[in-house]
């Protein structure tokens, strides 16, 4: 069985439960990214993402989450999901005006730099940007790729530090 979570934007005047198995006897509502704000009537409004799972789907989802957290040590907090989303969101590299994903520094470019230091004849190398449009592919020297990797790696570290701070703040609430 494959679980397909379909997230919808929701709002409520009451603070929602992250896991709601009481509202509907046939299933469970999962809620993430719960934030509060005050509307024009001075009421507290909660905004969040919400997905509905049948009871059977939730049992499987819960099992998979427990395995991921307990056995694999994966974090499933909102702070971590936001961190992962930032790593996968293209950013502008002002040096060449193209968009690259910060996660590529560790996943792709670091190894290319290491190979390039051993085998200089690999360069220049065509590096594609996040648009995947041929006209945005750039021929880079080893030094160009190192500079891009450092830029993206610094963003990874910034995002990681933001995640750790957010996780700590959320954990204290």
- Is 53:30 a contact under the CB 8 Å cutoff? yes
- Residue 3 in any domain: the answer is no
The residue with tokens 């198995």 is: 21
pTM above 0.75, yes or no: no
Q: Are residues 93 and 167 in the same domain?
A: yes
Looking at residue 87, its pLDDT comes to 95
Q: Is the pLDDT of residue 173 over 70?
A: no
Neighbours of 89 (CB within 10 A): 14
Q: Are residues 122 and 144 in the same domain?
A: yes
What confidence tens digit (pLDDT) does each residue in 111-166 have? 999 999 999 999 999 999 999 999 999 999 999 999 999 999 999 999 999 999 98
Q: Are residues 88 and 132 in the same domain?
A: yes
Q: Which of 51, 74, 97 represents a domain boundary (last residue)? A: 74
Is omega for the bond preceding 124 within 30 degrees of 0, making it cis? yes
Q: Which two tokens stand for residue 143?
A: 């030094």
Q: Are residues 103 and 166 in the same domain?
A: yes
The region that residue 73 occupies, defined by phi over 0 for left and psi between -120 and 50 for alpha, beta otherwise, is: left
Q: Are residues 89 and 64 in the same domain?
A: no
- Residue 135 in any domain: the answer is yes
Q: Are residues 151 and 88 in the same domain?
A: yes
Q: Are residues 67 and 99 in the same domain?
A: no
Structural domains in the chain (count): 2
- Residue 66 in any domain: the answer is yes
Residues spanned by the domain of 56: 8-74
């Amino acid at each position: 069985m494959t679980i397909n979570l379909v997230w919808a934007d929701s709002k409520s005047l009451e603070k929602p439960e992250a896991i709601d198995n009481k509202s509907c006897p046939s299933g469970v509502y999962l809620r993430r990214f719960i934030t509060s704000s005050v509307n024009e009537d001075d009421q507290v409004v909660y905004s969040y993402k919400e997905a509905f799972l049948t009871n059977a789907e939730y049992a499987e989802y819960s099992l998979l989450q427990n395995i991921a957290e307990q056995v694999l040590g994966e974090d499933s907090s909102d702070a971590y999901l936001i961190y992962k989303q930032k790593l996968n969101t293209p950013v502008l590299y002002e040096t060449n005006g193209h968009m690259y994903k910060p996660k590529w520094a560790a996943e792709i470019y670091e190894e290319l730099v290491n190979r390039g230091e051993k085998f200089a004849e690999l360069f220049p190398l065509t590096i594609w940007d996040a648009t995947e449009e041929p006209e945005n592919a750039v021929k880079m020297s080893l030094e160009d790729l190192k500079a891009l990797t450092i830029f993206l790696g610094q963003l990874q570290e910034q995002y990681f530090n933001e995640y750790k701070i957010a996780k700590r703040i959320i954990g204290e609430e």
